[in-house]
Structure 1
Amino acid sequence: MRLRAQNLLVEVSTHWVKCKIKRIENWSLTSLQQGSVKTGGRLVKHARYYWLLLGESHLTRRLFGTMLRRIWALQVPTG
């Protein structure tokens, strides 16, 4: 189970780092949907926001928070 969580962390962080590198104008809903499929999640629109639902995974609030902190701590290459 721990290995699955680590693999999920790597997949999600890799996808979001790639998204952070691109400018927001270049984001497309299709690319976000394809990325969520690769991570086993589901992209859902609610009001003005999109939520990535990670179904059927034992992802605790603490683990998810750790994942987000690690993603935001990654350095974005410049140039």
Structure 2
Amino acid sequence: MHVQIVLFDGFDPLDVIAPYEVLYAGGIASAGAVSVELVSAEGAREVGPRIAHAVEELFAHERRGTVWREHGPVPAGF
């Protein structure tokens, strides 16, 4: 199955990136049975720096680290 997410003028990046990530992960989990791409009515075009920065921030999950909580069990050695 091939999915196209249509970008309209003034779209909110969160409305696009969240479903893109879910569908892309589905493609990985299904060994490529699902593919996804972003499209616009005008065809291929450059995105502005605001959109590029928003996408970069949303994909920042690649920067892994420790998540600390205020309560709960204390990790061993602390």
Q: TM-score, normalised by structure 1?
A: 0.39
Bigger radius of gyration: 2
Larger proportion of helix: 1
Q: TM-score, normalised by structure 2?
A: 0.39
